Structure 1
Amino acid sequence: MDKVDREILAVLDRYGRISNAELAAKVGLSPSPCLRRVRRLEESGVIRGYRALIDPAAIGRGLRVLAGVRLVRHTHADVAAFERAIVRLPEVVNTHHVTGNYDYMLQVEVADLPAYEDFHANRLANLPGIAAVTSYVTMKTLSPDTA
């Protein structure tokens, strides 16, 4: 992967639906070589797919909470049971296995605080192996598009 490939990836990361002609112009290539590079990046698995970024508030998920989860035990069976359970919860948008004070950091999106309280008490806290959950309500999310 060279500098041009990295530029292509940076542009696609920010503007996923950009046309090939616009992408080529932004990275200083003609359209045909640009398309060949994009296809090579797709075929090699560097580009794993494309998706729409949806405004959570527009679909009734206006509250974003980051939840730090600690497990009781870290045996392979306990970790696997937790991971199987957490990926089935539609409110959990991302799950990160991390180091530090928590074992996992979750990005949870729900309608509002009462919805999170219900989710926390009735779904999250009942998952296998959870010792503790610490919740952080987000006030603002920054990204290159909002800066």
Structure 2
Amino acid sequence: MLLDRADRAIVTALQENARLTNVELSERIGLSPSACLRRVNTLERKGLIAGYHATIDMAKIDYDVMVMVQITLTGQASTILNDFERAVVRIPNLLACFLMAGTKDYILRVAARDVADYGQIHANHLSSLPHVQSMESNFILRSVMNRGLPVELL
């Protein structure tokens, strides 16, 4: 999908603050409110804007530990992948699951209140996932960057 200057400006502004009103957004990018709304609706309809989300400060709700878990499965057959995916999405503390190309098959992002809580998540959920050959837990010390796609790449 090719984006012109106005579309790129809309996407950039909404990546920074999805709570902008249409009037605020239109003023920021230099379009009339009706033209701005029409463009936003088009970007949503075409699927470029797939949703609007709130970013939660996990530490404020006492989830102080984030863990990236690297998983290697016993094989790559579709039944193995499907079994694993059906099971992993039921883990309540799982925030994200990525199928990878490379030395690991999946990377999971898991939220825990503390290290002991992660130990319980590991014992009660992760260790019983089907077809897991190996699992490596990497604790996130801090987030250095987490952003949307820069405007120059749109």
TM-score scaled by length of structure 2? 0.88
1:1-147 to structure 2, matched below 5 A, reads 1-143=3-145
User: Tell me, which stretches of 5 or more residues in structure 1 are unaligned?
Assistant: none
- The separation in 2 between residues aligned to 1:72 and 1:54, in whole angstroms, is 35
Give the drift of 1:144: 6.0
Cα deviations by residue, 1:117-140 (Å, 9 ceiling, x for unpaired) = 111122101110111111111111
Q: How many residue pairs are counted as aligned between the two chains?
A: 145
2:151 aligns with: none
- The separation in 1 between residues aligned to 2:6 and 2:136, in whole angstroms, is 42
- The separation in 2 between residues aligned to 1:80 and 1:58, in whole angstroms, is 35
- The separation in 2 between residues aligned to 1:59 and 1:77, in whole angstroms, is 37
Amino acid of the structure 1 residue aligned with 2:97: T
User: Tell me, which stretches of 5 or more residues in structure 2 are unaligned?
Assistant: 148-154
Give the drift of 1:49: 1.4
RMSD: 1.5
